[in-house]
Amino acid sequence: MKALQYRAVGQEPEVVELETPEPGPGQVRLKVTAAGACHSDSFVMSLPEEAAAGYHLPLTLGHEGAGIVDKLGDGVIGVSVGEAVAVYGPWGCGYCYNCAQGKENYCENAAALGIQPPGLGAPGAMAEYLIVDNARHLVPLGDLDPVQNVALTDAGLTPYHAIKYAIDRLAPGSTAVVIGAGGLGHVAIQILRAITSARVIALDVSEQKLELAREVGAHHVFASDATAADNVRSVAPHGVDAVFDFVVIQPTIDLGQAILGSEGRQLLVGVGAGSAKVGVVSGNPYESSIMAPYWGSRSELFEVLELARNGSVTVETEVFSLDDAPEAYRRLHDGTLRGRAVVVP
Ligand code: NAD
Ligand code: ZN
């Protein structure tokens, strides 16, 4: 089968021919219908040798996946061949307390057991076939279009989880800020509009992304630059109730702290780095909280797909063939994609 692999540190991913994998006991093989390209893949491909070793190169990319159940390993029950499914990516052991609540993103045993998400350690979905380790990690797609909706497994689930954390702050009259209106951010805006009453402000460095933000429902859009804090304050003089930062570099962390109101929530979702001040005399607003969430729970993925089913969330997608997948990553890196790049094998 054909697959897109990140093979060597510092090199572009390439399309290679691999043996089609067979599902072992308890595993499910999918014929992949769609796979999304996430900025986290670019992050992995930017890591130096030592850190990249944890991802087991050559790595088949793709942690957003959808497919048709194609073959069942011994003992698999609950899914049938021919069923259309989306893949829940943050695989856990299924046995610990967090997994028992569906929060496999915070599995207590995954690291010790060497369990990694597909495309982020285990072979991913940018291939003709994908092995899913357990039927528990499949969510029925029904008649949802896999290409249109595959990105919801991460670009939908991750912002949904973050927004639910802040939802008690997002009452009518509240304000939410989305920093970075790319793959995750443009879905975040729609989820905020669908499940909260908050006024939504989007900030980005790209004019094109700000246009998209407005199209998908942001009430206000501003350039993410030195004028941003004043512009946000002109709309929300007492500070904002939640900031969803899909960039997370020192300037966006500082901006988030500058616009947050008391009891506000600052959610650092982007895989960047920097430091934030916390303390009564340190400058962060009273009783504000800072959180760095990772992905979401299994039941939340069901909920996100419902938002697509009822028409509240539509992912903007640019479609690429598997052969053109390296170009999708170039465009992601250059920041010229509209919404999410989706690879269709
Ligand atoms: P993306 O490239 O599609 O979007 C990033 C957006 O940020 C772009 O629109 C870009 O123009 C904008 N941007 C860049 N610099 C900015 C700045 N200074 N101010 C405002 N906007 C700026 O990326 P994506 O796939 O949406 O991923 C976003 C981030 O989320 C990445 O860091 C990714 O690794 C991370 N991520 C985290 C999780 C998690 O579980 N925490 C899950 C998935 C992705
Ligand atoms: Zn991702």
Token pair for residue 120?
């982020």
Token pair for residue 61?
């990319």
CA of 243 to the centre of ligand 1 (A): 14
Question: How does pLDDT run across 26-58, given as a tens digit for each residue?
Answer: 999 999 999 999 999 999 999 999 999 999 999
Task: Please answer whether residues 223 and 203 qualify as being in contact, where contact means their C-beta atoms are separated by less than 8 angstroms.
Answer: yes
Q: Among candidates 332, 340, 329, which has minimal Cα distance to 61? A: 329
Domains, the chain: 2-154+296-344 (3.90.180.10), 157-291 (3.40.50.720)
Q: Cβ(59) to ligand 1 under 6 A? A: no
Q: Cβ(247) to ligand 1 under 6 A? A: yes
Angstrom distance (rounded) from CA 345 to CA 342: 10
Asked if the model's pLDDT at residue 131 lies above 90, the reply is: yes
Question: How does pLDDT run across 52-109, given as a tens digit for each residue?
Answer: 999 999 999 999 999 999 999 999 999 999 999 999 999 999 999 999 999 999 999 9
Q: Cβ(317) to ligand 1 under 6 A? A: no
Question: What percentage of the chain carries pLDDT values higher than 70?
Answer: 100
Asked if the model's pLDDT at residue 240 lies above 90, the reply is: yes
Residue 325: its pLDDT value, please?
A: 98
Q: How far is CA 159 from CA 16, 175, 218, in A?
A: 33, 16, 15
Instruction: Output the average pLDDT for the chain.
Output: 97
Report yes or no on whether pTM surpasses 0.95: yes
Question: How does pLDDT run across 179-213, given as a tens digit for each residue?
Answer: 999 999 999 999 999 999 999 999 999 999 999 99
Asked if the model's pLDDT at residue 284 lies above 90, the reply is: no
C-alpha distance across the termini of the chain, in Å: 10
CA of 333 to the centre of ligand 2 (A): 14
Residue 155: its pLDDT value, please?
A: 98
Query: For residue 222, which ligand has an atom nearest its CA?
Result: 1
Asked if the model's pLDDT at residue 277 lies above 90, the reply is: no
Task: Please answer whether residues 101 and 52 qualify as being in contact, where contact means their C-beta atoms are separated by less than 8 angstroms.
Answer: no
Closest atom of ligand 1 to 42 CA is 34
Question: How does pLDDT run across 143-163, given as a tens digit for each residue?
Answer: 999 999 999 999 999 999 999
CB neighbour list of residue 207: distance below 8 Å, 6 or more residues apart: none
Q: Among candidates 326, 185, 295, which has minimal Cα distance to 244? A: 185
Q: Among candidates 297, 261, 278, 305, which has minimal Cα distance to 164? A: 297
Task: Please answer whether residues 68 and 84 qualify as being in contact, where contact means their C-beta atoms are separated by less than 8 angstroms.
Answer: yes
Q: Which DSSP symbol is given to 21?
A: P
